């Protein structure tokens, strides 16, 4: 018997059969519906198609997730999920155990389970996308926070100047925003073509694009340092589609080390932490959702 992992995104619902070791047996996806009724019908249809093959359902979603009650709050772009008791609906409708997880926390769980945070007791996973997601592994467990919102680093604000949405780290550090800005510099028609933007970066011929990239990586590096000195981390992994570009991880590490050299007191008091790409890119949320389910089942019987 396997488990069903479901990753709910703004445009697509990915789902996969996953065994207890984290091996993906089968993976598919469907378009994310625009209202709650269609959403519940889609989720139920997915579960029903695998009902006889699974022991439970783990779901990763955007927004604040009350993992104890199984209720979704805010739901990111899926506002119709706000305050909906999804866990109760699934368990009562399908007679299967269900566990919900915030998408950023699911990514951290996947990496901690079988990825590049394995055996790390103090680490973090950040996911660079439209905003910046984050999951924290502290004292050898996922840290949720008193309101299930630990790691919402997109809402970190600049220390000085007027405050606006544009000044929040989630917007200034948006990978989508960086690609769009790079595409505009290159006069590209497709503002979301990250591959072409990075191909041009690797060529190294466009000075303005290089500066944009360096500034972006410097912002992420400084954010990593702030996380390190606040939480005493040993390791941090970076996810999101942009993390598949080796030049990104290389430049972030370069900027991280550059900041340390500019601040000898920082370098003297804090050791350099390991910074790597996530091992499981687009599959991390599926795997993390299932691992969260396995942990919740284990907790029930402990």
The two structure tokens encoding residue 267: 């370098």
Q: 228: Cβ–Cβ under 8 A, 6 or more apart, which residues?
A: 236, 270, 273
Is 35's pLDDT higher than 80? yes
Lowest mean per-residue pLDDT among 42-46, 89-93, 168-172: 168-172
Say yes or no to pLDDT of 167 above 90. Answer: no
Alpha-carbon span 7 to 24, nearest angstrom: 14
Neighbours of 273 (CB within 10 A): 18
State the pLDDT at residue 65.
96
Give the CA dihedral 75, 112, 273, 252, nearest 10 degrees.
-50
Mean pLDDT of 279-302: 91
Q: What is the DSSP letter of 65?
A: E
pTM: 0.92
Q: Can you read off the two tokens belonging to residue 166? A: 């544009």
Residue with tokens 């359902």: 57
Q: Compute the average pLDDT of residues 48-72.
A: 95
Distance between CA atoms of 8 and 113, rounded to whole angstroms? 20
Q: Which helix (H) or strand (E) holds 98?
A: strand 98-102
Decide if pLDDT at 300 tops 80: no
Q: Strand 123-128 relative to strand 132-138: parallel, antiparallel, unpaired?
A: antiparallel
The mean pLDDT value of the chain amounts to 94
Q: Please compute Rg for the chain using Cα positions.
A: 20
Q: Tell me the average pLDDT across 171-175.
A: 91
Over residues 225-251, mean pLDDT: 96
The full set of domains in the chain, from first to last, is: 2-102 (3.30.420.40), 116-277 (3.30.420.40)
> Do the bridges between strand 64-66 and strand 54-61 make them parallel or antiparallel, or are there none, so unpaired?
unpaired
Contact predicate 57/101, CB 8 Å? no
Q: The tokens of 248 are what?
A: 């990104």
Residue 143: per-residue pLDDT:
97
* Tokens at 190, concatenated: 């497709």
Q: What are phi and psi of 116, to 5 degrees?
A: -85, 5
pLDDT of 302 higher than 70: no
Spatial CA neighbour of 130 closest among 178, 181, 69: 178
Tokens of 77: 């772009």
Q: What is the pLDDT of residue 75?
A: 78
Structural tokens at position 159: 């220390």
Residue given tokens 């680490």 in the structure block: 123
Which own/partner contact pairs does 75-82 have at CB distance under 8 Å and 24+ positions apart?
Answer: 76/10, 77/10, 78/8, 78/10, 78/32, 78/39, 80/35, 80/36, 80/39, 81/36, 81/39
Crossing angle for the helix pair 86-94 and 36-50, to the nearest 10 degrees: 40
pLDDT of residue 200: 96
CB 94 within 8 A of CB 247: no
């Amino acid at each position: 018997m396997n488990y069903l992992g479901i990753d709910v995104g703004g445009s697509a619902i990915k789902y996969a059969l996953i065994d207890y070791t984290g091996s993906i047996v089968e993976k598919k996806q469907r378009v994310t519906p625009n209202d709650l009724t269609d959403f519940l019908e889609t989720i139920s249809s997915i579960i029903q198609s695998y009902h006889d093959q699974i022991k439970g359902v783990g779901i990763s979603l955007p927004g604040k997730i009350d993992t104890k009650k199984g209720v979704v709050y805010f739901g990111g772009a899926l506002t119709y999920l706000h305050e909906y008791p999804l866990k109760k609906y699934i368990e009562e409708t399908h007679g299967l155990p269900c566990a919900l997880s915030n998408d950023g926390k699911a990514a951290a769980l996947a990496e901690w389970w079988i990825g590049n945070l394995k055996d790390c007791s103090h680490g973090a996973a950040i996911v660079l996308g439209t905003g910046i997601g984050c999951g924290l592994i502290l004292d050898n467990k996922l840290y949720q926070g008193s309101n299930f919102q630990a790691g919402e680093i997109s809402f970190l604000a600049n220390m000085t100047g007027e405050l606006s949405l544009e000044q929040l780290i989630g917007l200034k550090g948006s990978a989508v925003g960086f690609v769009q800005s790079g595409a505009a510099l290159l006069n590209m028609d497709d503002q979301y073509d990250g591959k072409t933007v990075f191909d041009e970066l690797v060529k190294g011929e466009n000075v303005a694009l290089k500066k944009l990239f360096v500034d972006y990586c410097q912002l992420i590096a400084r954010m990593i340092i702030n996380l390190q000195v606040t939480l005493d981390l040993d390791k941090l992994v970076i996810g999101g589609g942009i993390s598949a570009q080796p030049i990104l991880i290389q430049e972030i590490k370069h900027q991280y080390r550059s900041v340390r050299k500019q601040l000898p007191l920082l370098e003297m008091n804090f050791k350099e932490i390991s910074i790597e790409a996530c091992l499981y890119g687009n599959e991390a949320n599926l795997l993390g959702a299932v691992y969260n389910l396995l942990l919740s089942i284990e907790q029930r019987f402990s």
